[in-house]
Amino acid sequence: MKKTSVRLADGRELIYYDAGEGAPVRDAVDRRSLPPAATSSQARFDPLLREWVVIASHRQGRTHLPPADECPLCPSREGRLSEIPAADYEVAVFENRFPSLTGAPAGLSGDGGALLPRMPGAGRCEVVCFTSDHHTSFADLSEERAALVLAAWTDRTAELSRLPGVEQVFCFENRGEEIGVTLGHPHGQIYAYPFTTPRTARMLDSVAAYGAAHPGANLFGELLAAERADGSRIVLDTAHWTAFVPHAAHWPYEVHLYPRQRAADLTELDDKAREEFPAVYLELLRRFDRIFDEGAGQPPTPYVAAWHQAPVHDVRRGEFALHLELFTVRRTAAKLKYLAGSESAMDVFVNDVPPEQAAARLREVASA
């Protein structure tokens, strides 16, 4: 893999990732006239739920669903300069122009008193462009390109984990207007948080409690073994990866993908799992696109694909298990799953699709 770092007109970093020998020189200059990047956000702590909320008002003005010929993630061309100065690229990663988290770390502020702490929303947000082809999706990538994306995710996880103040790195993809994407180009994002996210903190607490009650046992490992032994919710089971619908799935179609060999984050993934991942992940994405295949014109399945990684500095880091969560908000071809009263106000999900039925459907639509 070849990695080339350049600067955009406003000072933000852009990194090209190229595979194989003979990668082109990436020296195109950003010819746009942009003011220096200057954004800020704030994190406020909710003492009742014990979680941070990020306030980022500048994101109200971000680009929203532009036509394809005005896409800021496509390569630049004469008459249309974009975030990518090059005329073509394989995988590109750049600092988000409208970041949720930005700036250097700083201490807590006493403006709200001891009960209402706040701090700068320090961290970094990046955009990951999977391909220069606007009219495609991750599921259409070759295994070689998917491997390059995995390499980019891994490299960014390592680099961002070394930044001062970063506590957790989150790689994810939102696809589909139903999910809330504002750009149609195939892309994902990476957040480098200045705190451990609530979901991860809860997982670590559960793992610690289970370990205390069952010395020597790891809850992640036990759950994976239990799902494999049951078998009814297994979607894919290969030499180095297992994909299953969890028995208490929150979403209509939700799959968790675990490497057989536990790793804390992408940097610890072993070579065999890394080699096998592209084929496994592409197969899962293609199955998701076939779940609701009820005739021509059916739109692609909207989804969120989220890498759960261990916090950078938590002493329990070694007990965490890297895994990918893939889910859709669509419950039938014409109906969406909305987070209404029970889900939004009480955090109690009501799932309309039994997990065993979802798993059966995902096995049914396997590639021939």
Residues with catalytic annotation?
A: 187
Give the C-alpha separation, 56 to 63, whole Å: 15
3-state SS, residue 263: coil
Residues with Cβ within 8 Å of residue 114, at least 6 apart in sequence: none
With 0-12 / 13-18 / 19 or more C-beta atoms within 10 angstroms meaning exposed / middle / buried, residue 210 is middle
Give the C-alpha separation, 8 to 31, whole Å: 9
Instruction: Give kind and range of the element (H or E) at residue 330.
Output: strand 330-332
Rg (CA), the chain: 21
DSSP 67: -
> DSSP string spanning 9-55?
TTS-EEEEEE-STTPPP---------PPP----EEEEETTTTEEEEE
How far from 244 is each of 238, 265, 322, 325, CA to CA, in Å? 12, 19, 15, 10
What region does 307 belong to: left with phi over 0, alpha with psi -120 to 50, or beta? beta
The separation between the first and the last C-alpha atoms of the chain, rounded to the nearest angstrom, is: 32
Alpha helices per DSSP H over the chain: 143-161, 198-213, 219-230, 271-290, 341-346, 355-364
